[in-house]
Chain A
Amino acid sequence: SQQGEEDPQALSIQEGENATMNCSYKTSINNLQWYRQNSGRGLVHLILIRSNEREKHSGRLRVTLDTSKKSSSLLITASRAADTASYFCATDSGGYQKVTFGTGTKLQVIP
């Protein structure tokens, strides 16, 4: 079963615009991670936010976490064509190392 559900399922934007993806989950977590998957490739870790953190930044990425709403958002600012990929949230589900991946948001950035 999947813990996280991403929204929207697909997103198409123009280069330079910001992209926002949301993740909702069902049970309490210790941390939440975001991963990127380029077509035909393995997933690449982007950022990890712990349950006691509300916001985290990494370059053009900004992640927020609202544990009361059991939701997280990933914001990519000033998007580039190279950001075109699928983005997944992942939540730990008991064991610290074991995570459950969401359904993913497919982002297309049009040059």
Chain B
Amino acid sequence: DAGVIQSPRHEVTEMGQEVTLRCKPISGHDYLFWYRQTMMRGLELLIYFNNNVPIDDSGMPEDRFSAKMPNASFSTLKIQPSEPRDSAVYFCASSSTLAGGWQFFGPGTRLTVL
């Protein structure tokens, strides 16, 4: 298995632009998580899905952030409009109820908003 795949790996954009981050979870996993990591705030859970349904989005900072999971093999995290304070590393992770419950992380997307 290729593991959790994220794209792009790096994104540099200007304030006000729309940013879309993509994630392909491990096949067969029924949970998908989006995290944000910064030096100041550490690793924060933004939202997670179970069987493609959003379960908890209480960590989504603002209405500028939205996430979708149209099918079991794809999810997006969108920021519109982006702001410099959104600069961070965004991780996607997936897990399986049947396989221990620990999470498998993707390599992350490093977002820089100028």
Contacts and interface: CB of A to CB of B under 8 A. Distances in A.
Given A41-B108, A88-B43, A97-B95, A48 B102 contact: yes
A100 B107 CA distance: 19
B111 interface: no
Q: How large is the interface on A (under 10, 10 to 19, 20 to 34, 35 or more residues)?
A: 20 to 34
Interface residues of B, number: 23
Interface in A79-111: 88, 95-104
Interface string B72-114: 0000000000000000000101010100111111111000000
B12 to A, nearest CB: 16
Contacts of B42: 2, 101-104
B31 interface: yes
Given A31-B101, A33-B102, A97-B48, 13 more contacts: A2-B42, A42-B93, A42-B107, A42-B108, A45-B103, A97-B97, A98-B48, A98-B55, A101-B42, A101-B43, A102-B42, A104-B42, A104-B43
Interface of A: 2, 31, 33, 41-45, 48, 88, 95-104
